[in-house]
Structure formats: structure tokens, C-alpha cells
Amino acid sequence: GGGEGGEEEEAQRRPSSLLERLTSHWRSEPRLMGQCDAFISHSWSDPPGPKWAALSAWAEAFEEEHGRLPTVWLDKLCIDQRNVQEALACLPIFLAGCDRLLVLAGPTYSSRLWCVMELFTFLKMGAPLERITVLPFAEPSTRQRSRAVSDDVPAHATLADVAASFASFDAAQARCARPEDRQALLAVIEESFGSFGEFNEWARHVFDVRVDGVHESRVTTLEAGWREEERGSCGLQLV
């Protein structure tokens, strides 16, 4: 999510990903509170191609249902990258201004503390479960890496692995690029719930019941062509 800080910086030092190249096609514009369809919660360490396929499938389904393109909040374009930590203080406002929380849940998502905090913040705002959509994804078997994505993700992470990470979710085990951030964020969750147990149960329930099955067949189709670098319109509007 928006606050991964050091991990985002590390991702930006790597060769340009498909997701980063596609941002050149996206249009960012200001919106009033409540006029954004979805806040995109994601991990910078997850594979960009399958992530793009999951997001595109959701956007296509949205357009078919509503007759227009969705507007989304994405950290890369909606946070001042020169003042990330300052902007993150407004995270509750950004979330409150969006109709739903769209979780792009890849192999590393449940282990990233800022992603956990986005779930936590949405919960504490009193948002109903119906306003959360979870899109799980992993590398297609034909394109799985020979090396691990990161220290905590195996080289051949599958959708089954992603599902298992949700079922065993533990906020206390989530990682953060800055140790001081980790302690502060975990303290907020623990103070609110008394222990991590209740929050963990809620998060596992969200992952279990809010998975969007409609997008899966669309993702399969989109994955076949996600390496095409020139795609015209991305089917999204950034706010």
C-alpha cells in the first residue's frame, strides 16, 4: 500500500515494471470526497503482471456494470512521492473518500504491515464488509520465477499459497521497512482491539468471504497478454 516507503524505493530502483510503464497512460485528476470508486490496496513486492491482470479484470467488470470507467486511488500517483510520510497521515481521509477498498492480494500482501493498516483503518471507519473486494493473484505457472520474489515469498508461490497466507494471517508477523513504524502501527492495532487475535480473525474472515470470483476467468485471459507493453487505454481513471 501507500506506506511501504523503503520497499517502494527499492522497487523503483529495479528495472521498470509493466505497471510503472503503464502509469504513463493514466490520467490523474482531483475529485471530491465520495467521488472515487475504489482505494487500491496492494504490496509493491508482488509481481506486477498478474497484479495488472487482476486490476484490469475488475475494471472491465465495473465498466460493464456501470457503463463508465472506474476512478481509483493509487498511491503511486495520488501521493506526493517527495513527501510520502507526510501524505500518509491523511490515509483515513483518502480511504473515507473512496466507495470501496479494492485489495490486490498477491503472495506478499498479508505480510506487509502498511497493507494491514489499510484494512484496519477501513474497519475502524465502520465500513461494511460489502465495501471490500479481494482479488487474489499469483504468477501463472508458466512464468513463475526461478528465484524468490522476496525473503518471505517462495519462488513458486501459487494461488493456493496466497490463500494459505490469508488463512494463517497474523498482524504481529507483518513486516515494515522502518522498524519504528512497525512498532507504532502494531501498537495502534493492539490498543484498539486489546490483542491481535480479534483483528486477525476479522482479517481472515474478510479474505475468506470477500474474494471476487467473477474476475478469475477474465484474469486468465488477460494474463496471456500482460507482457504486451503498448496497450492503449488502461480502462482506469486516477484521482
pTM here?
Answer: 0.77
Nearest by Cα to 239 from 80, 78, 94: 78
Q: What whole-number distance in Å separates Cα of residue 57 and Cα of residue 65?
A: 13
Higher pLDDT, residue 44 or 156: 44
* pLDDT tens by residue, 1-57: 655 555 544 444 443 444 454 455 556 777 778 789 999 999 989 998 899 999 999
How far apart, in whole angstroms, are the C-alpha atoms of residue 141 and residue 125?
38
One-letter amino acid at 45 equals S
Query: What is the 3-state secondary structure of 132-199?
Result: EEEEECCCCHHHCCCCCCECCECCCCCHHHHHHHHHCCCHHHCECCCHHHHHHHHHHHHHHHCCHHHH
Partners of 105 in the beta sheet? 136
Contacts (Cβ under 8 Å, ≥6 apart) of 200: 169, 170, 171
List, for residues 174-188, the tens digit of each pLDDT value. 988 778 888 888 888
Q: At residue 21, what are phi and psi to the nearest 5 degrees? A: -65, -35
Task: Give the H or E element holding residue 230.
Answer: none
171 with 197: CB under 8 angstroms?
A: no
pLDDT of residue 179: 82
d(CA 3, CA 175): 12
Who has greater pLDDT, 77 or 192?
192
Mean pLDDT of all residues in 226-235: 45
Answer yes or no: is pLDDT of 139 > 70: yes
**Residues 164-175, mean pLDDT to the nearest whole number:** 92
